Amino acid sequence: MTAPQPPRRATVRRQTRETDIAVELFLDGTGKSEIATGIGFLDHMLDQLARHGLFDLKVRAAGDLHIDFHHTTEDTGYAVGEAFSKALGDRAGIRRYGEATIPMDETLTRVALDASNRPYLLWQVAFSRPKLGEIDTELFQEWFKAFAQSAGLTLHIENLYGSNNHHIVESSYKALARALRTAVEIDPRQAGVIPSTKGSL
């Protein structure tokens, strides 16, 4: 008889001279979130990540927003990614790969990922505006890069087409959520097995 899967939870605290970030994550949740980063648009995106991935996610961040949003955005990516890596443990039994193509009105974005523990970001996303609300659009690449690095993901993000910058960003987070949801699910055909010929990820 197969042993029950232990709860896949993680708590992370990331403190620097620039930011103080606390994250709680339950991989096998229902999509509940409590997000407060001080950056409204980032809060909205992390809520989408939780909701569409069915992850329970709490994020509290305090950062040097009086300078700009860079440090808080990037360090939140690192902290949330670290929580995913910790919750996955040795990654035994997971499906490992995930892919999602998400439409949002005129926009279509595709995410493919491998939870391989080999971090890499391919970012093929362009914006026509420098800001969304108060956040610089260039900071979204920094968030995804930090997230992929600390989560241990090979992560490919392509905006296939679209003109509305809000839709481009939001479809990227929703596609990440759906691809992650698939990749981190336990595959009943290989429960307890590391999904690699090398025997480790």
Query: How is residue 70 written in tokens?
Result: 């860079």
| Nearest Cα to Cα of residue 98 among 163, 145, 54, 58 | 54
**Residues comprising the chain, all counted:** 201
Residue-wise pLDDT tens digits, 32-81: 999 999 999 999 999 999 999 999 999 999 999 999 999 999 999 999 99
Predicted TM-score (pTM) of this structure? 0.95
Across the range 104-126, mean pLDDT stands at 98
| Nearest Cα to Cα of residue 175 among 150, 155, 199 | 155
Query: What pLDDT sits at residue 201?
Result: 77
Residue listed under structure tokens 């670290």: 82
pLDDT over 90, % of the chain: 90
Domain boundaries, the chain: 9-184
Compute, in degrees rounded to 10, the torsion defined by CA atoms 61, 65, 71, 76: 20
Query: Does residue 108 have a pLDDT over 60?
Result: yes
CB atoms near residue 173 (< 10 Å): 27
Architecture of domain 9-184: 2-Layer Sandwich (3.30)
Across the range 137-153, mean pLDDT stands at 98
